[in-house]
Amino acid sequence: MSFAQLNLAPEIERAVEEEGYETPTPIQEGAIPGVLAGRDLIGCAQTGTGKTAAFTLPILHRLRAGTRGRLRALILTPTRELALQVAESLRVYGRHLRLDAAVVHGGVGLEPQQARLRRGVDLLVATPGRLLDLMGRGCVDFRSLEVLVLDEADRMLDMGFIKDVRRIVAATPSRRQTLLFSATMPDEIRRLAREILRDPVNVEVAPRRSAPAAGVRQTLFPVASGRKRDLLAHLLETEARGLTLVFTRTKHGANRLARDLEGRGHSVAVLHGNRSQSQRTHALASFRGGRTRVMVATDIAGRGIDVDGISHVVNFDLPNVPEDYVHRIGRTARAGATGDAISLVSPEDHPHVRGIETLIGHTIERRVMQGFAAGPGMAGPSASSPTVARARAAGGPRPVARVAARFRGHGAPRRGWAVRRRA
């Protein structure tokens, strides 16, 4: 299918062309016709599939005509980074239209946002907490609202926003068009979807079981927890030499790791919830521009990172929630490219490894980096294992012993996107 076949307004088609997109991605192909026809939609799509354009393009198409300066489309996102990214997509795809989009999120002053809403906007991208604050101050008028989007609904659930989301939905007109996107479909999201969507088109570009984006090579490195920093530094010098995004579980962990890497001569950007908005913006800009090759982030902040060309994602700590693993590694290999996802795994991480492998449906390849030998009971061959011994016998000291991935029951990981559309 080509973009021309989607029958989007010429101004939108032109913007898409200027972005260099040649064909719609499967989620776009599956979602755009239904949304243009005014249908509600459930989009089950992971990050990196082009889901943002799947809803922003038809919304811009719908809003291009009609009275301006009245709030007609609202997009709710779990994090400010994602909100900013969606707003940027609206700006890019809507650059030949005369529509005003605003973004409101926490962490910055309320007054400028209040003033912005008073001036009138056509589209609003918002995080739930800040939107409720602004609604409480009487600055949001939903009377003209036509389209509501819940983006990354599963993430809003994880972050405890689902009650806020329900309050916001209840304040919008019932005749609206509603689009719900989620990488995974936990029961509570299904329930929400049943309650707020009317006869939705269902588009799925990931299996129901969460799956990492195609093109991501996944590897686990067993390592003692006290050696993780050394191993990371070694990997940054030997293998992970492109733009590398490193995830830690906590904000303090991110700060400590960044200091350690800086002490080893790396320039490092840091992104987490305790940083001010301007620090976050600065960190992202310098990473995106390649001025800092390494960025350390926590999950919440890392969620909205849309940076092309991330070659490596490193899980310094594994996430507590298996789904976050899929979201994290989706930061590389975006839009059909390839990338590496490396996880540093100490014995304490084993329960997390099991959770992740169950979720993705296969085991992840283990590699042992010589000199960072796994201790007893580690996930991977010990230094005296036959695999490593054979590698040594074959060619003297080798930095890496490769252990073939074992696939359990479900077959090989999926390659390419599958799309299923149920009207």
Residues at the contact surface with ligand AMP, assessed by CB under 6 A: 21, 24-25, 28, 47-53, 306, 308, 334-335
Of 51 and 366, which CB lies nearer to ligand AMP in the complex structure? 51
CA angle 175, 167, 274 (to 5 degrees): 130
For ligand AMP, give the closer residue by CB, 187 or 308: 308
Q: How far is the CB of 303 from ligand AMP (least distance, A)?
A: 11
Strand blocks (E) in 185-234: 201-204, 216-222
**Minimum CB separation from ligand AMP for residue 15, in Å?**
12
Residue type (1 letter), 309: G
- Look at residue 170 and give its three-state secondary structure: helix
Strand, helix or coil for residue 199 = coil
Q: How far is the CB of 133 from ligand AMP (least distance, A)?
A: 27
Cβ-based nearer residue to ligand AMP, 74 or 391? 74
Contacts of 70 (CB under 8 A, 6+ apart): 120, 122, 141, 143, 144
Nearer to ligand AMP, 47 or 219 (CB): 47
CB of 330 to ligand AMP, least distance (A): 8
Residues 6+ apart with CB under 8 A from 289: none
Amino acid at site 82? L
The answer to whether the CB of 358 falls within 8 A of the CB of 210 is no
Q: How far apart are CA 205 and CA 67, in angstroms?
A: 35
Residue 28 or 202 having the CB closest to ligand AMP: 28
Nearer to ligand AMP by Cβ, of 5 and 274: the residue is: 5
CB of 24 to ligand AMP, least distance (A): 5
d(CA 420, CA 423): 10
CB of 25 to ligand AMP, least distance (A): 5
Nearer to ligand AMP, 24 or 380 (CB): 24
> How far apart are alpha carbons 357 and 194 in whole angstroms?
30
| Long-range contacts of the stretch 384-387 (C-beta < 8 A, 24+) | none
- The C-alpha angle 170, 172, 175, rounded to 5 degrees, equals 110
* CB-nearer residue toward ligand AMP: 53 or 236: 53
CA pair distance 392, 378, nearest whole angstrom: 20
User: Can you read off the two tokens belonging to residue 49?
Assistant: 């599939």
Nearest distance in Å: CB 86, ligand AMP? 8
